[in-house]
Amino acid sequence: MKQKDLILKYMNDFGSITDREAVIDLGIGRLASRICDLRKDGYDIISETAKAKNRYGKIVHFARYRINDKAGA
C-alpha cells in the first residue's frame, strides 16, 4: 500500500492525522509532503492548527489534517 493510501485510510478510520501519528503509527516521516501530493490528486484536505503541552510543559503548535467532509455540500 502506498503512503498516500495509508494516510487516507488513517484519516477515514480516525478522522484526522498529525505528523507524530504518521511517524508512530504509519512510519511516514514527511506527512506534509504526502498531504501536498493528495491535494494535487484532488483531495480536499484541511489543515488545522492544534496545540498541546510537550514533556516540559511548554505549549507547542502543530498541524492536524483531515478530509473536508463538507466539500460539495
* Edge-to-edge strand ranges of the sheet holding 45-53: 17-18, 59-67, 45-53
Cell numbers 503509527 label which residue? 25
Q: Is residue 44 part of a domain?
A: yes
Return d(Cα 45, Cα 56) in angstroms, integer. 31
Q: Is residue 72 part of a domain?
A: no
Q: Give the confidence band of 72 by pLDDT, cuts at 50, 70, 90.
A: low
Whole-number pLDDT of residue 17: 98
Q: Is residue 73 part of a domain?
A: no
**Domain extent at residue 44:** 3-67
Q: Give the confidence band of 69 by pLDDT, cuts at 50, 70, 90.
A: confident
pLDDT in tens, 18-54: 999 999 999 999 999 999 999 999 999 999 999 999 9
| Cell, residue 25 | 503509527
How many structural domains comprise the chain?
1
Q: Residue 46: name the closest of 23, 69, 72 by CA.
A: 69
Q: Is residue 38 part of a domain?
A: yes
